[in-house]
Amino acid sequence: MAAGSFDALFEDGLREAERLHLRRSVRVFERIAPGRSLHGGRELLNFCSNDYLGLSRHPALAAMACERVRLDGTGATASRLVCGADPFCAGIETRLARAKGTQAALLFSSGWQANAAVLPALLRAFGPSAQVYVDRLVHASLHQGCRAAGIREIRFRHNDLDHLETLLRARAGRPGRRIIVTESVFSMDGDRCDVAALAGLAQRHGAFLYLDEAHATGVLGPDGMGLSGLGGGRVDLAMGTFSKALGGFGAYVAGSRALCDYLINACSGFVHTTALPPAVLGAIDAALDLIPGMRAEREALAAGADALRGALHALGLDTGASSTQIVPVLVGDERRALALSQALEAHGVLVTAIRPPTVPRGTSRLRIALSAAHTRADVDRLLDALSRALETGA
């Protein structure tokens, strides 16, 4: 097949990424079990996955996914505003709202799509003078949502509520409604915000609070349904995903009935997207059955993360402010992060190097994601591989 007429442009971009040690490529790995992958015929311990509770291979999720396919087929066929809401889908939204302590909930195709589509819809309601306060380290999808809305973010220092309050006070006399956008658990740092304090701050300043719960849903908070439950009913919108701890796919937004009804009418990502397919809905439903009863798994995951951080500190490594199942090893230099990742893989352990633009320049890292499926022996193997990689100067 002939090369594209504009390939020279793309090749220039790839060469520049290569020069900066930022080029990426998709490698093929076969997932053989939670916490295990196969590459080139070789089994690797996988510490990259967001499958925090090991539910992606749970037989109950697989069985319910198959049952929904048997009953409803493979595709949703159209958006919900065209073909209507499947009763099973509507039932899941009711369950979600109850679990999140809200009046209503809406399902979306993915967390990225939800954030990138919901924010522009919200900000149209807030008007062109809206003041949007954003933690500087929020996920790219939230920044994209702000860009799509055509607004300028007012960024506050990461998890620094004093700085946020200073910014809010400094603009107290200016026109425009206020919205605060942040995450409960940050995906690259593994730290969490103080949701109770943040909710109180938002209430004092009359600000709408938008909380991304992608990496907390299933793992933290009341019955494992995220940290928004600690906000005393003052989190106005909570977004979360089913593709991480819940082992499936898709996302949700939870909030007031009026908010969700408005999004049904104003959010392009809901209006113009085909509904989630039956198999995905089946897996979501089964995961929601399991999550409340997985307290022991959540406690073991938290204890394992604490022990891992202690062991990494003993090796002289910096894990930042991590307090969750996500444990970064802060390296700084892109090349060293890549070298450590490659050395670990040579020892049979898969840990991805995270580089800009995913993280700020100078903060490249290894991102270790623990799962309840990992054993103590698995973690010991990771630590041994990392120790040996450090000894060889990787």
Catalytic residue numbers read 50, 139, 183, 187, 212, 215, 244
DSSP string, 286-353: HHHHHGGG-HHHHHHHHHHHHHHHHHHHHTT---TT--SSEEEEEEE-HHHHHHHHHHHHHTTEE-PE
State how far the Cα of 13 lies from the Cα of 19, in Å rounded to an integer. Answer: 10
Say if residues 115 and 307 touch (Cβ distance below 8 Å). Answer: no
Q: Could you tell me how far CA 178 lies from the centroid of its own chain?
A: 24
3-state secondary structure 115-129: HHHHHHHHHHHHCCC
Strands 36-39 and 353-354: what pairing?
unpaired
323 Cβ contact partners less than 8 Å away, ≥ 6 residues apart:
190, 191, 192
Query: What whole-number distance in Å separates Cα of residue 315 and Cα of residue 305?
Result: 15
